[in-house]
Amino acid sequence: MNAKSTILISAVVLSFSVHGGERDIQHNYPLEKLSANVYVIHGPNEEVTEQNQGFRNNPVVITTEKGAIIVDPGSSVYTGEMVVRKLKEVSEKPVIAVINSHGHGDHWLGNHGVKKHFPDVSIYSHPLMKKSIETNGGEMWIKAINQRSNNAIEGTQVVAPNKTVNEGDEMDFGNITLRVYYKGKAHSDGDIMLEVVQEKVFLFGDVLRVENISPFMASLNGNLAALDIGEKTGANIFVPGHGKSGDKRLINTYRKFLQSLKAEVKNNFESGLNDFEMKPKIIKAMNGYKDWSGLDENIGRLINLVYLEVEEESF
Ligand SMILES: [Zn+2]
């Protein structure tokens, strides 16, 4: 089965109805086992649409002696509640921690759904992510996803992280240790990556994407460096922020995409073209990636960002 037919089937199991003016949205995607204690829900690998109701990331569940952990519970109160529901299929323990990989709303707005069931849950992120939500209020993410999904996440509230973790921290959950990596700007300003040490699983957040192109990039060089860090941990299962989990080949493929994009921008920059002038040429040159989600919509913004970085390097 190819990726596209999987998405179609997943969308069918999604139910949606309106009760007395309140939205009752039940996402229902399977929880897949990756290792003894790590599970993932692979969300639709596509942009936000009315049909996917804003759900498009990969929430992760980790079961430990001390309780359950959820990483990136999705884009709404509804996806957060789905993750809690699915978690109950594999563990009766309460959720003791939520960890947010970075500040983009499709990953953390689901905090609300977890908090509804576990009001005392600790929610962790990098300090820069926590600060950005405290500064901009996070409401912009609710607005942006509602606009693209016909208000599918209405009812979702901002629930910001209340604790922080940083490079080198180890979170001890008894049988499970989570090692935290932060290597500066990569996909965003405040990406953390997590190694599930005992199970050789590495959670990249959006530093790794599979057949999916984001409009966001804080630093292409930083993103490449962060990919190397994850690869060197000795983990053998890698979970991307979007797209199916897998082995090292995922890292190689995404690295190659980033390197090709940089090379294209650099060549055109050296021929004296502006970022908007090079866009059609680069789309043509990157034709091998035309089936990746978001290429047409997002490549222009990525070119802008990489252009600035290439320009800076040339001084
Ligand atoms: Zn994302």
Mean pLDDT of 278-285: 93
Distance 71 CA to ligand 1 centre (A): 13
State both tokens at 267. 């060549």
Find all residues with CB under 8 Å of 135, minimum gap 6, and list them. Answer: none
- pLDDT at residue 215 in the model: 87
State both tokens at 142. 């609710």
Give the whole-angstrom CA distance, residue 159 versus residue 136: 13
- pLDDT at residue 23 in the model: 56
Mean pLDDT of 214-241: 95
Mean pLDDT of 136-148: 94
Distance 109 CA to ligand 1 centre (A): 12
Asked if residue 191 has pLDDT above 60, the reply is yes
Distance 212 CA to ligand 1 centre (A): 10
Q: CB-based burial of residue 174 (10 Å sphere; 0-12 exposed, 13-18 middle, 19+ buried)?
A: exposed
Q: At the topology level of CATH, where does 3-209+219-247 sit?
A: Metallo-beta-lactamase; Chain A (3.60.15)
Mean pLDDT of 292-299: 90
Distance 45 CA to ligand 1 centre (A): 10
Mean pLDDT of 232-251: 97
Distance 242 CA to ligand 1 centre (A): 6
Q: Which of 98-112, 165-179, 258-272, 284-298 has the lowest mean pLDDT?
A: 284-298
- pLDDT at residue 6 in the model: 45
Mean pLDDT of 135-151: 94
State both tokens at 194. 């997590």
Distance 168 CA to ligand 1 centre (A): 23
| Phi (first) and psi of residue 149, to 5 degrees | -125, 20
Sheet holding 201-209, edge to edge: 170-172, 177-181, 193-196, 201-209, 237-242
Task: Enter the pTM of the model.
Answer: 0.91
How confident is the prediction for the chain on average, in pLDDT?
Answer: 92
Q: Where are the domains of the chain?
A: 3-209+219-247, 249-315
